[in-house]
Every structure is written in structure tokens, then in C-alpha cells.
Amino acid sequence: MTKELLIYLDGKIVPESQAKISVFDHGLLYGDGCFEGIRFYNGRVFRLEEHTRRIYDSAKSLLLTIPMTPEEMIGATVETVKANGLRDGYIRTVITRGVGPMGLSPYKCPKASVFIIAASIQLYPPSAYENGLVMATVATRRPRHDILPPQVKSLNYLNNVMAKVEAIQAGAEEGLMLNDQGLVAECTGDNIFIIRDGAISTPPLSAGALDGITRRVVFEIAATLGIPLHERDLTRHDIFTADECFLTGTAAEVIAAVKLDQRVIGDGKPGVITKRVIAKFREIANSTGTPVYE
């Protein structure tokens, strides 16, 4: 029999079978809320303070009051991992608007709900990390900043879900998403980077890219390794003709992409610079973070 996970739910650690929210929670009824995905390695939660700040930023943008301080959130996150006895895995922190009557108004929901899940995850098979991902450009576009700010990780993720569906139906493992101008924004769940003539480029946040935590780590890695890195507008052509390409995300970590829309990127294998970035990321991820058991 599989052991039940222990879930943090509104101040208590409870078995997953008891971790329930109301059908009247506006997070369920309207996608009104926000979330974070966080990784932990070797008993340390990676970039926990940055993730915590980002979920509070998302909540602030949504006029959503989280009923605990950031310090309490950090403590609850560590407590959830520790309660499950895990050393490596993935955390999903979710803030919902809370219970309220039917209707869109968030002001009728007196208190937000918080739950935290700590579990294992494998976004892509090991072979994808060895050989690289195949991508397809999808028709679903990333929303403009005046529609739904890309920096808010809201519970309304249908834009990304439908883009992922398109990618899978096209026989690809990941979907490339463009913005309303036809410029590259990001992938369905990852930021995208290309390498050309020894320099790394990635779309600016203004193009619709999420301010990814792993994306930030790559900026630090590039500086450490002495590799030029630029934020600039990218087109599909730039990816087709790149020497290398890789994606980043909390769940995906850093992974090479070797084909887009039937065009082979570079020599069709994870490139030298991509491998250096991956190796450095793994080194940092496995040696730093907020300790769980100390």
C-alpha cells in the first residue's frame, strides 16, 4: 500500500486523503489564486526565499492577501518537506481566494486558503535529458501584459495547458509560444535560451516570458563561466539557426532542445555550452538552499 503524503493545509499537516477544499472555493470556481513550484535537493530547498517572494508578488498583483507572513510561509514549506521525510523532490504551494458565494467578486471571500504539497516529480524522461527535447510552435499565444500579466503565476493556466495539448498533438515534447507580435515568449512551462557564436540569448520579460527562478540562476552561471548573455527579441528563425538551445524551469531544471518544427538545431545534440550550464546548475542546486533537517 502506498504511503499517503502529508499536506500542509491552512495551518495543519494532514494526510492527503483529508486535504480537501470546498467546492465553493473561488480558486476552484474561477481559477482565482496563485501558485509556486519549488525544488529541493539533498535535503535543501532551492531558492526558497526567491520563490516565496514571487508568490507574494503574484498575490499582491491579484489583490489577494496571504494569511501568513513570508517567514511563516518559509517555515511551513520546510515543515511539509520534513513531515514527508523527503530529501529530493518538488513542492507545489497554492494560494486560493478561499470560500465565497457564487459570483466573481473576490471581496465576498473572507479568507484565502493555503496548501503545500511536497512530492517527487519527473517532468521529462531521462532520455530527454541525454538527447534533448523536440519542440513545436503552437498557435496559442502568450497573453499580453494588459490581458493577464505573465509574471503572475495564477491558477488560470489554461493558456499553457492548451498550448501543451497542441505540442503533444504535433508529436513534440514541448511547445514554443509566441506573443501577439509573433516574437518568441517562452515555452508552455519553461523559459528558452539559444546559443549563437558562443553567446547566450533569451527573450526579455517584456516579450511575455516568466521571470523564472531557474532563468535567473542561468544568468548567474553565465557570469561565472564568462559566457556573454543577452536579453533580446527572438524569432523562430533565430531558434532554427541557433548553434544550441536549452530550456529552463523549476520542474524541468535545465534541458537541451534539439529540434523545432522539423528543423534540427545545431547538430541535433545537446551542445557544449548547454552541457556546461547544466553541470554548473546541478552543482549549485545540490549544494545550496534552505536546510530541512538541520
Residues with a known catalytic role = 153
Among 42, 31, 35, 30, which Cα is nearest to 114's?
A: 35
- Distances, alpha carbon 154 to alpha carbons 23, 159, 166, 291, in Å: 19, 11, 21, 28
Is 141 exposed, middle or buried (CB count within 10 Å of its CB: 0-12, 13-18, 19+)? middle
Phi, psi torsion values for 187, nearest 5 degrees? -100, -175
In this structure, which amino acid lies at residue 38? I
CA–CA separation, 289 vs 38, rounded Å?
Answer: 11
| 3-class DSSP state of 202 | strand
Is 239 exposed, middle or buried (CB count within 10 Å of its CB: 0-12, 13-18, 19+)? buried
For residue 241, is it left (φ>0), alpha (ψ between -120 and 50) or beta? alpha
Q: What angle do CA 151, 250, 208 make, to 5 degrees?
A: 25
- Distances, alpha carbon 208 to alpha carbons 84, 229, 290, in Å: 36, 18, 30
Among 169, 230, 220, 221, which Cα is nearest to 194's?
A: 230
CA–CA separation, 200 vs 178, rounded Å?
Answer: 19
